[in-house]
Structure 1
Amino acid sequence: MQTAKTNAQRLLEAKGIEVSIYTYDNEDGAIHGTAVADKIGLPPETVFKTLVAHSGANLYVFVIPVAEELDLKKAAKAAGEKKIEMLPLKDLLKFTGYVRGGCSPVGMKKLYPTFIDESAEIQERIAVSAGKIGLQMEVAPEELAGVVGATFCGLLK
């Protein structure tokens, strides 16, 4: 059971956004997206992962369905960059305040330019990390985009 709310939850609730919380057991170490979707009982196309990429010193956040792969060329185009690379895992906590498997697009240390795959727009609600391994939150995609200033665009391979 969840005890304390995460920053991501608090930020959404402060804006009056309705959030459904899902907890899952991560003792088995299976924290990859499709395992999480299975554990919380939601279709993988409604569960999204948060990826952080960079071009030089510029960081960008990409939110895509868990079973899909980010197309770095499409990501670079969306971000207005020539080339973009995934942020090294060792730098994730330093820049976002989150760890792998618990990275939420909401409540990072800074508000980075954020892009959500356009497939989210056809979903009534999508689940994203609530900022902690073992915790997901479900929210309307438009409301999530509004909070983080995200743009919807095609990001998938």
Structure 2
Amino acid sequence: MAAKTNACRLLDILHIPYTLHEYEWEESQLDAYTVAEKVGLQPNQIFKTLVLKGDKSGVVVACIPGDQELNLKSLASLSGNKKVEMVAVKDIQGLTGYIRGGVSPLGMKKKYPFFLDQTVTDAAPVSISAGKRGLQIFLEGEHLITASEANVVDITSK
């Protein structure tokens, strides 16, 4: 079994039930569709974590279903910014403690404003990165909301 990550430790502290699922990963296949296939879920159950920077607030984090696109204008407005943009891949680890393809919305080294798409309660279970490539956490959407202290909002483009 995989070693516990910061995300797992946080869920343990909060007594939130979850399961861990390991899979073989490749640098060129870190997308939600590939992960979904490897762990036996639908792409809308795989929630990808995106790290962005707002022009007023600084870093914000968004988490959306793998089959959706982030609506940058919605996120900017909801986070009190005029615009938001993705941070450079080279900056992700320094900001979060995680590397691309292994960014978990839980257990980051600093707490940033966190926006979770409202569809999180539509699919059970949902899956998030456990904080390293090749390891996913399955949990109920309501538990993810609780653990992440999320702002649950509509931030995807249909």
TM-score by length of 2: 0.93
The aligned counterpart of 1:99 is: 99
- Count of residues in correspondence between the two structures: 156
**Identity within the alignment, %:** 41
SS at match of 1:25: coil
CA RMSD of aligned residues (A): 1.3
TM-score by length of 1: 0.94
Given residue 61 of structure 1, which amino acid in structure 2 is its aligned partner?
V
Given residue 38 of structure 1, which amino acid in structure 2 is its aligned partner?
E
Report if the CA contact (8 A) 1:96-1:108 is conserved. yes
The aligned counterpart of 2:68 is: 68
The aligned counterpart of 1:25 is: 24
Deviation at 1:114, TM superposition (A): 0.6
The aligned counterpart of 1:7 is: 6
Report if the CA contact (8 A) 1:21-1:137 is conserved. yes
The aligned counterpart of 1:119 is: 119
Q: Distance in 2 between matches of 1:124 and 1:39?
A: 17
1:34-93 alpha-carbon deviations (Å, 9 max, x no partner): 100010010111111000111146111100011211110011112121111111111100
Which ranges of structure 1 fall in alignment gaps of 5 or more residues? none
Which ranges of structure 2 fall in alignment gaps of 5 or more residues? none
Deviation at 1:125, TM superposition (A): 2.4
SS at match of 2:50: strand
Runs of 4+ displaced beyond 6 Å: none
Q: Distance in 2 between matches of 1:16 and 1:31?
A: 29
Q: Distance in 2 between matches of 1:124 and 1:152?
A: 16
SS at match of 2:112: coil
